[in-house]
């Protein structure tokens, strides 16, 4: 059972589908459910529209038959509560959760989630190991993908200066992975502000990055 | 006594007011700074802007050494998570959490965290009145 039908849930389902698992995805957005169902729906992949942190919804989605429970919504609190409900109310043995804030890895483990995965932490670790960005980009290129990772310095007088991330209007496919502020690496959220001299790690298509970089610099 | 409140809505702001009047030291956390205007002028409690499920935010609010916490944001899941961090990781002796969905209380069963469920309270009050007023079906 997978809670969360965003990008992570979608691709997770897609990669698991080849391995003969029976998968139930729970997603709160109805149109997203329809999309997943039409693209991935089959005899062994089903979609339920509902709140994965609601006991009734979990019951209706068939949680009693679950061998592994995976929570991959974009909200850490929802992932935690979904896993705890699965364990406490339905006796699911194996719970796996995604966290956005890497500090929550410790919290989730202490609060009983079996496995905790943080993509932010994974990427931060790669950066800390000072693996050259070109190496990462060649990794993407090997997979013939258009995704690139770029580091851009926020210029003095940039249009993004002193602005909150949520107000920058960055395109949907472009992700700001980390902001390097002095010797601090900040995992950004909507409230994060960019200061001149900050280094922004961006991931997205070459075009999106190029368009954004002019605004970062100006 | 040092008390932390998560969520500066009507409940959170009223708690701050009452606690301050009674002489408690209070800190309040909310993700929107504008919500602190609900506290009114002259409130001298500590305000922390941030997501209350972030340990850095909780530390800034002084969770290390707090005596009590109330999690009263509008999101049940946030409240359940914050109260567990406070109780189980920082060993705050008195933690009260607001949960609107009566079924969800089960997550915190046998933990020692106190639960307030406005839905259940309203239901109970309503049915007490109905029966007290001898309104039969």
A87-132 confidence digits (pLDDT tens): 999 999 999 999 999 899 999 999 999 999 987 777 666 555 544 5
Query: Which residue do the tokens 């080849």 mark?
Result: A18
Q: Which pLDDT belongs to residue A190?
A: 85
Interface test with A, best of B6, B52, B53, B110 (most A CBs within 10 A): B53
| CATH hierarchy code of domain A2-130 | 3.40.50.720
Q: How many CB atoms lie within 10 A of CB A155?
A: 17
Interface test with B, best of A52, A63, A80 (most B CBs within 10 A): A80
Check A54 against B101: CB less than 8 A apart.
Answer: yes
**Interval B4-46: pLDDT, tens:** 999 999 999 999 999 999 999 999 999 999 999 999 877 789 9
Q: Which pLDDT belongs to residue A134?
A: 62
CATH number of A145-217, picked from 3.30.70.1450, 3.40.50.300, 3.90.1150.10, 2.40.50.140:
3.30.70.1450
The complex's ipTM? Answer: 0.88
Q: Which pLDDT belongs to residue B108?
A: 94
A204: its two tokens? 């997205």
Spell out the domains of chain B, with CATH numbers in brackets.
2-132 (3.40.50.720)
For all residues of chain B together, what is the average pLDDT? Answer: 93
Residues of A in contact with B101 (CB under 8 A): 54
- B103 touching A (Cβ < 8 Å): yes
Q: Which of A89, A101, A110 sits opposite B106 (nearest CB)?
A: A89
- Please check whether residue A46 is in contact with residue A25, taking contact to mean a CB–CB distance below 8 angstroms: yes
Q: Which pLDDT belongs to residue A139?
A: 66
- Sequence-distant (6+) residues with CB within 8 A of A108 are A76, A79, A80, A83, A97, A99, A116
- Report residue A199's pLDDT band, with 50, 70 and 90 as the boundaries: confident
φ/ψ (deg, to 5) at A214: -65, -35
Domain coordinates in residue numbering, chain A? 2-130, 145-217
For all residues of chain A together, what is the average pLDDT? Answer: 86
Q: Is the pLDDT of residue A143 over 70?
A: no
Q: Which of A56, A76, A191 sits opposite B53 (nearest CB)?
A: A76
Query: Which residue do the tokens 């190496």 mark?
Result: A135
Q: Which pLDDT belongs to residue A71?
A: 96
Distance from C-alpha of B73 to C-alpha of B98, rounded to nearest angstrom: 8
- Please check whether residue A26 is in contact with residue A85, taking contact to mean a CB–CB distance below 8 angstroms: no
B103: its two tokens? 């079924």
Q: Is the pLDDT of residue B71 over 60?
A: yes
- Please check whether residue B93 is in contact with residue B119, taking contact to mean a CB–CB distance below 8 angstroms: no
Check B107 against A88: CB less than 8 A apart.
Answer: yes
């Amino acid at each position: 059972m997978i809670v969360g039908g965003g990008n992570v849930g979608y691709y997770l389902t897609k990669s698991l589908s080849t391995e003969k698992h029976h998968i139930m995805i729970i997603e709160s957005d109805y149109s997203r459910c329809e999309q997943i169902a039409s693209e991935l729906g089959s005899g062994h992949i089903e979609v339920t529209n509902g709140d994965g942190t609601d006991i009734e919804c979990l019951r209706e989605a068939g949680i009693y038959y679950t061998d592994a429970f995976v929570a991959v919504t974009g909200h850490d609190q929802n992932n935690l509560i979904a896993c705890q409900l699965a364990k406490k109310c339905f006796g699911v043995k194996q719970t796996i959760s995604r966290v956005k804030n890497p500090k929550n890895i410790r919290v989730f483990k202490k609060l009983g989630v079996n496995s905790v995965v943080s993509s932010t932490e994974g990427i931060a670790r790669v950066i800390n190991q000072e693996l050259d960005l070109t190496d990462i980009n060649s990794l993407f290129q090997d997979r013939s993908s258009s995704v690139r990772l770029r580091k851009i310095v926020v210029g003095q007088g940039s249009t993004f200066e002193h602005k909150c991330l949520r107000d920058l209007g960055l395109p949907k496919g472009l992700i700001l992975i980390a902001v390097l502020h002095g010797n601090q690496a900040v995992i950004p959220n909507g409230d994060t502000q960019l200061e001149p001299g900050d280094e922004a790690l961006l991931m997205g298509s070459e075009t999106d990055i190029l368009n954004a970089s002019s605004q970062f610099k100006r | 006594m040092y008390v932390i409140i998560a969520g500066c809505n009507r409940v959170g702001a009223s708690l701050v007011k009452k606690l301050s009047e009674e002489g408690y030291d209070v800190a309040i956390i909310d993700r929107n700074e504008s919500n602190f205007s609900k506290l009114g002028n002259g409130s001298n409690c500590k305000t922390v802007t941030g997501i209350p499920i972030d340990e850095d935010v909780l530390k800034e609010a002084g969770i290390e050494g707090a005596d009590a916490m109330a999690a009263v944001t509008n999101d049940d899941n946030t409240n359940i998570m914050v109260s567990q961090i406070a109780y189980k990781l920082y060993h705050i002796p008195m933690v009260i959490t607001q949960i609107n969905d009566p079924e969800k209380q089960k997550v915190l069963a046998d933990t020692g965290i106190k639960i307030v469920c406005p839905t259940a309270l309203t239901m109970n009050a309503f049915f007490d009145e109905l029966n007290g007023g001898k309104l039969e079906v």
